[in-house]
Chains A and B, each alone.
Chain A
Amino acid sequence: MPVAGPRRVRWGVLAVFLTPALILLTAFVIAPILGTVAISFECKHGFCLKNYVDVITQQSPDLALIYPPGFGGPPPWGALIHNIVWILIHVPLTTMLGLIIAYLLKDTLGGSFIKSIIFIGMVIPMVVGGLIIRFMFDKYVGIVPKIFQFLGVKSLAITWTSYPQTALIALILGSVWLWTGFSMTIYAAALETIPRDYIEAAKVDGASERQIFFKIILPLLKPATLVVVLMTILWDLKIFDIVFVATLGGPGGASTVMALVMYMYFARELDFAKAAAVAVLLALLTLIPGVYMARRAVKG
Chain B
Amino acid sequence: MADKASLAIAIIAIIIAVIAIGYAAYTASTLSSQIKSINNKLSAIESRIGSLEHRVSTLTARPTATPTRTATVTGKVTLTVIGPWAGKEAKYFEKVIQAFEAEHPNIKIKYVIRRAEELAQILPLQFSAHTTPGDVIITPWAWFIVKMAKEGHVVDLTGIIKPSDYIDGIVENVMWNGHVYGAPFTMWLKPGFWYRKSFFKKYGLHVPKTWEDFLNLLKKIKKIPGIKNPIVSGDSKGWPLSDIVEHFLLTFLGPDITYKLVHCEVKFTDPEVENVFKTKLVPLIKEGYFSPPIEWTTAIEKWWAGEYALYFMGTWIAGMVPNASDIDFFWLPGDKAIVGGADYAFIPKYTKHLQAALTFLKFLATEGQVIHASTPAGKIPTWKKAPVDKIWKPMQSVYKKVTEAGMKIVPDLDDTIGGHWQTLFWDQLKLLWVDPSKLPQILKTLTEQLPACKAKG
Whether the Cβ atoms of A23 and B17 lie closer than 8 Å is yes
**Of B25, B238, B435, most A-chain CB atoms within 10 Å:** B435
A248 within 8 A of B: yes
Within 8 A of B (CB), among A1-51: 4, 7-8, 11-12, 14-15, 18-19, 22-23, 26-27
Query: Contacts A60-B449, A63-B420, A162-B235 hold; do A267 and B117 have CB atoms under 8 A apart?
Result: yes
Q: Is the CB of B238 within 8 A of A11?
A: no
With A4-B3, A248-B427, A251-B430 already in contact, the answer to whether A15 and B10 are too (CB < 8 A) is yes
Contacting A15 at CB < 8 Å: which of B13, B434, B438?
Answer: B13
Given A61-B445, A140-B294, A164-B434, residue A270 in contact with residue B2 (CB < 8 A): no
Q: Mark B2-40, 1 if CB is under 8 A from A, else 0.
A: 110011011101100110011001000000000000000
Across the interface, which residues of A come within 8 angstroms of B442, CB to CB? 252
A139 pairs with B292, CB closer than 8 A: yes
Q: Given A61-B445, A270-B147, are A264 and B18 neighbors across the interface (CB < 8 Å)?
A: no
A269 within 8 A of B: yes
Asked whether A267 lies within 8 Å of B7 as measured between CB atoms, the reply is: no
CB of A12 within 8 A of CB of B14, answer no
Look across to chain B and name the residue whose beta carbon is closest to the beta carbon of A7: B3
Inter-chain CA distance A265–B420, complex, in Å, is 8
CB-CB < 8 A to A98: which residues of B?
A: none
Q: Is A253 an interface residue, CB under 8 A from the partner?
A: yes
B208 in the interface, Cβ–Cβ < 8 Å?
no
Q: Is B422 an interface residue (CB 8 A)?
A: yes
* Cα A272 to Cα B11 with chains together (Å): 36
Give B47 Cβ to nearest chain A Cβ, in Å. 24
Instruction: State whether the Cβ of A185 lies closer than 8 Å to any Cβ in chain B.
Output: no
A59–B294 Cα distance when bound, in Å, is 29
B340 at the interface (CB under 8 A from A): no
**How many interface residues does A have (CB within 8 Å)?**
41
- Complex contact A269–B419 (CB within 8 A): yes
Alpha-carbon distance between A8 and B25 when the two chains are bound, in angstroms: 32
Residues of A within 8 A of B245 (CB): none
Chain B residues near A59 (CB-CB < 8 A): 448
How far is B435's CA from A176's CA once the two chains are assembled, in angstroms?
28
B residues 336-381 touching A (CB-CB < 8 Å): none
Which residues of B429-457 are within 8 A (CB) of A?
Answer: 430-431, 433-435, 438, 441-442, 445, 448-449
* A8→B2 contact, CB < 8 A: yes
| Contact residues in B for A159 (Cβ distance below 8 Å) | 292-294
- A266 proximal to B (CB < 8 A): yes
Cα-based distance from A27 to B10 in the complex (angstroms): 20
The answer, yes or no, to whether A163 is at the interface (CB within 8 Å) is: yes
Answer yes or no: B215 CB below 8 A from chain A CBs: no
Which residues of chain A come closer than 8 Å to B448, judged between CB atoms?
A: 59-60
Residues of A within 8 A of B22 (CB): 26
A253 vs B22: C-alpha distance in the bound complex, in angstroms?
A: 43
- Is A121 interfacial (CB-CB < 8 Å)? no
Q: Does A249 contact B (CB under 8 A)?
A: yes
B435 touches A164 (CB 8 A): yes
Tell yes or no: B74 within 8 A of A by CB: no
Report Cα–Cα, A8/B124, bound state, in Å.
Answer: 50
- Report Cα–Cα, A163/B419, bound state, in Å: 24
- Tell me the smallest distance from the CB of A294 to a CB of chain B, in Å: 23
A265 to chain B, nearest CB (A): 8
Q: How far is the CA of A269 from the CA of B449 in the complex (A)?
A: 12
Q: A250-B427, A251-B427, A268-B420 are in contact. Are A15 and B120 (CB under 8 A)?
A: no
Residue B121 lies at the interface, judged by CB distance under 8 Å to chain A: yes
Is B424 close to A, CB under 8 A? yes
Question: Which residue of the partner chain A has the closest CB to B13?
Answer: A15
Whether the pair B120, A268 counts as a contact (CB closer than 8 A) is yes
Q: Report A124-156 CB contacts with B as 1/0, cut-off 8 Å.
A: 000000000000000110000000000000000
Please tell me if the beta carbons of A4 and B2 are within 8 angstroms of each other in the complex. yes
Cα of A192 to Cα of B147 in the assembled complex, Å = 59
Task: Flag whether A236 is at the interface (Cβ < 8 A).
Answer: no
Q: In the complex, what residues of A have CB within 8 A of residue B293's CB?
A: 159, 162
| Distance between A243 CB and nearest chain B CB, rounded to angstroms | 12
B7 touches A11 (CB 8 A): yes
Within 8 A of B (CB), among A198-244: none
A272 to B125, CA, bound (A): 10
Instruction: List residues of chain B with CB within 8 A of the CB of A14.
Output: 10
Which residues of B have CB within 8 Å of A19?
Answer: 13-14, 17-18
Residues of B within 8 Å of A23, CB to CB, are 17-18, 21
Q: Which residues of B contact A178 (CB under 8 A)?
A: none
State whether B422 touches A22 (Cβ < 8 A): no
Min CB–CB distance A26 → chain B (angstroms): 6
The smallest beta-carbon distance between A168 and chain B, in angstroms, is 13
Q: Which of B18, B21, B121, B427 contacts A62 (CB 8 A)?
A: B427
B237 within 8 A of A: yes
A23-B17, A60-B445 given as contacts; is B3 within 8 A of A252 (CB)?
A: no
Are the C-beta atoms of B431 and A251 separated by less than 8 Å?
A: yes
A257 to B10 alpha-carbon distance, docked (Å):
46
Interface-centre pick from B21, B117, B427, B435 (highest chain A CB count, 10 A): B427
Chain A residues whose CB sits within 8 angstroms of the CB of B298 once the complex forms: 140
Task: List, in ascending order, chain A residues with CB within 8 A of B124's CB.
Answer: 270, 272
CA distance A12 to B430 in the complex (A): 64
Distance in Å: Cβ of A142 to nearest Cβ of chain B: 12
Query: Is B428 on the interface with A (CB-CB < 8 A)?
Result: yes
A268-B14 contact, Cβ under 8 Å, with A60-B445, A163-B434, A252-B428: no
Chain A residues near B14 (CB-CB < 8 A): 15, 18-19, 22
Which residues from chain A contact B164 at a C-beta distance below 8 Å? none
Chain B residues with Cβ under 8 A from A248's Cβ? 237-238, 423, 427
A259-300 interface mask toward B, CB cutoff 8 Å, 1 = contact, 0 = none? 000001111111010000000000000000000000000000
Chain A residues with Cβ below 8 Å from B292 are 139, 158-159, 162
Would you give the shortest CB distance from A37 to chain B, in whole angstroms? 18
With a cutoff of 8 Å between Cβ atoms, the chain B residues found around residue A269 in the complex are 419-420
Given contacts A60-B420, A251-B427, contact A11 B434 (CB under 8 A): no
Q: In the complex the two chains form, what is the Cα distance from A163 to B120 in whole Å?
A: 28
Contacts of A4 in B (CB 8 A): 2-3
Shortest B411–chain A CB gap in Å is 19
A295–B120 Cα gap in the complex (Å)? 40
Chain A, residue nearest B238 (CB): A250
Look across to chain A and name the residue whose beta carbon is closest to the beta carbon of B5.
Answer: A8
Residues on the B chain within 8 Å of A60, using CB:
420, 424, 445, 448-449
| 14 A–B contacts, CB within 8 A, in A order | A11-B7, A12-B10, A15-B11, A59-B448, A60-B449, A139-B292, A162-B292, A250-B237, A250-B431, A251-B430, A252-B428, A252-B438, A268-B422, A269-B419
Additional 7 contacts, C-beta under 8 A, given A19-B18, A63-B420, A254-B431: A7-B2, A19-B17, A61-B445, A62-B424, A69-B441, A268-B120, A270-B120
5 smallest beta-carbon distances between A and B, as pairs:
A252-B431, A15-B10, A11-B6, A251-B430, A250-B427
